[in-house]
Amino acid sequence: MTTILEVKDLVVAYGKVRAVKGISFTVSEGEVVTLIGTNGAGKTTTLRTISGLLPLTGGSITFQGERIDGMPAHRIVEQGLAHAPEGRRIFPRMTVEENLRLGAYARRDTGVAADLKRVFELFPVLEERRRQAAGTFSGGEQQMLAIGRSLMSRPKLLMLDEPSMGLSPLMMQRIMSTIRELVTDGTTILLVEQNAQAALELAHRGYVLEVGRIVLSDTGQQLLGNEQVRKAYLGED
């Protein structure tokens, strides 16, 4: 399998405090890789750094064979790396369709209409309410919109930060099954989740982060069965 993303010895600090302390991991084409870990482990910091939203202190980030650390965020999107951030960050006063079209701003090809159709197939509620202001949506619907918007850039790698955060169990199931559909379609995904069970069920491989370091990595299935993981992250005694 071809490696699409390689993060090597990544260090990220807020002032003097190092939130990410030298982590290395890879994502290959067609894979779903998950980063799991408790609050404050450094998962969001890692994604924001890959996206170019935070500067790194050390290490390197290579996407499709090219160094992207140090590149401005908009150029990283243009390279084919999309990020659906934690907390959704949609534009509440814009309509659903306007939000989705913004996701395609960097594209110069003619496939935008087809991709809009595809997002509407994945999330029919977005089509029903395409002219409605996004701010009127429920948390789950906003999450769908955030994922839909990232897909509109037709990414080669989609990074999802806590897609299940704040959702009802039913809505969470729907989001997870949509992610599964994307995977079947061959989308490569880097998934950050606090819900380790859901993430590991979906992922080909996973990395466990603890206070800025990777302490364990294996296939999703192996991690699901790992006693240490079960105790610390899957709520078992």
Query: Hey, is 211 helix, strand or coil?
Result: coil
With binding defined as CB under 6 A, does residue 42 bind ligand ATP?
Answer: yes
- DSSP structure string for 186-198: T--EEEEES-HHH
Q: Which is nearer to ligand ATP, 21 or 154 (CB)?
A: 21
Q: Which is nearer to ligand ATP, 104 or 146 (CB)?
A: 146
Q: Which is nearer to ligand ATP, 28 or 194 (CB)?
A: 194
With binding defined as CB under 6 A, does residue 16 bind ligand ATP?
Answer: no
How far apart are the C-alpha atoms of 192 and 237, rounded to whole Å? 24
One-letter amino acid of 237 = D
With binding defined as CB under 6 A, does residue 51 bind ligand ATP?
Answer: no
One-letter amino acid of 68 = I
In terms of DSSP H, where are the helices of 152-219?
169-184, 196-202
With binding defined as CB under 6 A, does residue 19 bind ligand ATP?
Answer: yes
Using CB under 6 A as the criterion, what x/- string covers residues 160-199 for binding ligand ATP?
Answer: ----------------------------------x-----
How far apart are the C-alpha atoms of 144 and 201, rounded to whole Å? 20
Binding residues (CB under 6 A) for ligand ATP: these are 14, 19, 37, 39-45, 194
